[in-house]
Amino acid sequence: MASSSKIRSVLRRTAVPLTATLLALGISVSMATPASASNSYNGNAYIQGTGTFTDDWTDEGVVAEFGGYNRNSNATCLWQKIVFWADSSSGGHRDQIDGYFGHNTTLATHSWQANYMSPTAADGSVGKNTWAAAGKRLRDTDGDGTVDKYDGRYRDIAISRVNGVYHFADADGNDRKASYDARTCTIV
pLDDT by residue (tens digit) across 100-134? 999 999 999 999 999 999 989 899 999 999 999 99
74 neighbors 81 (Cβ within 8 angstroms):
no
pLDDT at site 29:
32
CA distance 82 to 4: 45
**5 lies in some domain:** no
Per-residue pLDDT tens for 129-173? 999 999 999 999 999 999 999 999 999 999 999 999 999 998 788
**167 lies in some domain:** yes
**120 lies in some domain:** yes
Give the pTM. Answer: 0.77
pLDDT at site 102:
94
Mean pLDDT of 14-28: 39
**173 lies in some domain:** yes
In the predicted structure, residue 13 carries a pLDDT above the cut 60: no
The number of domains in the chain is: 1
**Distance from chain centroid for Cα 105:** 10
- Higher pLDDT among residues 98 and 172, named by residue: 98
In the predicted structure, residue 93 carries a pLDDT above the cut 80: no
CA distance 146 to 20: 55
- Torsion angle (degrees, nearest 10) of CA 29, 42, 147, 55: -60
4-13, 42-51, 115-124, range with the lowest pLDDT: 4-13
DSSP line for 57-104:
GGGPPPB-SSSSSS-BSHHHHHHHHIIIIIT-TTS--GGG-SSB--HH
Q: Three-state DSSP class for 3?
A: coil
Domain range for residue 150? Answer: 74-177
In the predicted structure, residue 188 carries a pLDDT above the cut 80: no
